[in-house]
Amino acid sequence: MSRQRILDWCKGWKSKSLEKMNFYVNQELEQARAQAGINLSTANDPKAISEHFRQIFTPEKFFKVFYWTKDILDFEKTSDLGKYFVKSQLLSP
């Protein structure tokens, strides 16, 4: 496999992951507003926003965004440190 082909795949994964992350965040913002009357889109406290996403985290949501890891990452069998890292990727600003 050529180096360029691998780089193209990486760009594609990054682009699609960013697109899926934007969709996921917008979807969660709408659900929070509808269910609890919380308007996260105007919240000024990054810790509160991060805590909201930490509380609703599921492996399924992670794999919706980072779709390309689904076949190579077994969330249930990974170590606690690995689970922490996976969660941090979905919650990082």
End-to-end CA distance of the chain: 34
> Model pTM greater than 0.85?
no
Residue 42's pLDDT band, with cuts at 50, 70 and 90, is low
User: What's the total number of domains in the chain?
Assistant: 1
Containing domain of residue 67, as a range? Answer: 3-91
Looking at this protein, which amino acid is placed at residue 90?
L
pLDDT average, residue stretch 64-86 = 89
Q: What's the token pair of residue 80?
A: 């606690």
Over the stretch 13-31, which tens digit does the pLDDT of each residue have? 888 888 998 898 888 888 8
Residue 3 has pLDDT above 70, yes or no: yes
Residues 40-60, buried b or exposed e (16+ Cβ, 10 A)? beeeeeeeebeebbeeeeebe
Q: What's the token pair of residue 48?
A: 């509160």
For 36, how many CA atoms within 13 A lie in the half-sphere containing its CB? Answer: 8
With pLDDT > 70 as the criterion, what percentage of the chain qualifies?
A: 88
